[in-house]
Structure 1
Amino acid sequence: MFPLRGLTPAPLPSLHLKTSHLLPPLNVTISSAITNNYSISDEDLESRGFNLHRTVSDLNLDHLNKVFVAVGFPRRDPQKIRLALENTNSLLWVEYKKTQKPVAFARATGDGVFNAIIWDVVVDPSFQGIGLGKAVMERLMGELLEKGIANIALYSEPRVLGFYRPLGFVADPDGIKGMVYSRKKNSKR
């Protein structure tokens, strides 16, 4: 996932969700179509020792910051994380019951109607490869689609593009190229 680092040397690829294969038949609600397609059920996650959360209550920001750092994001100011989460429309995080710490996280911002962008998709490296990232993304996308939001985008580092493609994300199908605002630092003379 693309961390908010300030300046970037070049824009990273923007991916958009191709919703055509995710939309259910007309006689099925979006909610049931998405929840029936979870790769890991809520019950299975719980039996494996994980709790799902959809609010920031009980989320220890210092522990979340450690997960950010563990996946290569820069350490973030906890007050800025709190502010970002206050301006987040949807979020989902997974807690490992044994340690009561977050091990997977993703959030989305947007206008609540037409558009959303998914940010900060992270899984603690000790818990990668067991389906937690996919579980978080499936549920977050399901929530956005249930709200009727069909234009879902995310920024991703090139090395993890393969993770998002099976979830329905493609390079922008309309060929639109994203841009990133970059303020050049004043050079010392």
Structure 2
Amino acid sequence: MARYRGPKSKIARKFGEPIFGPDKVLEKKNYPPGFHGLASRRRKKSEYGLQLKEKQKAKYTYGVLEKQFARLFSKASASKGITGEVLLQLLEARLDNVVFRLGLARSRAAARQLVSHKHITVNGEIVNIPSYQLRAGDVVGVREKSKSLEIIADSMTSHRYNKYAWLEWDDAAMSGKFLNRPEREEIPENIKEQLIVELYSK
């Protein structure tokens, strides 16, 4: 499946946030890329422009393509609860995101690769679909043959698992349990989901 493989610092500068993780370029140049970068920051954006920017930010943050994002929004709209919050919960429940949250990969892109290459299991069974939606009680682990992988060991050393209320980590088993979908206040991403809802409501 197609993925964005261009310069990540440019995208981070566009949104003014380290959406792909710590970025030295963003620290030095905290303004949009391009010749008119500083000028464009001063220019007032239209309501549509702000809504579109927020959707793009969410897509790049979670590594989701346009069609996938639209499908998730439709699912969120048809679900009970506040559409914007449900959308973020669905994004957080993706297998690649949970692998990243558990500290098994340094980034969501690296987590996607681990899942695609069959290094990750769900309830003991290999799952190689990054967009797989986890349910409450699902256990995400590392395949036995993959536990000695350097990329996983490095990530667990440098990108230690941050405790999230909706995840439970078992160090000995190298696995984590997805307890439930997180509440909005528990999701650390700086995304104004209401703007996304307004965009799709037009």
Greater RCO, 1 or 2 (C-alpha within 8 Å, sep 6+): 1
Bucket of the pairwise TM-score, normalised by the shorter protein: under 0.3
| Structure number with higher strand proportion | 1
TM-score (norm 2): 0.21
Give the TM-score, by structure 1 length: 0.22
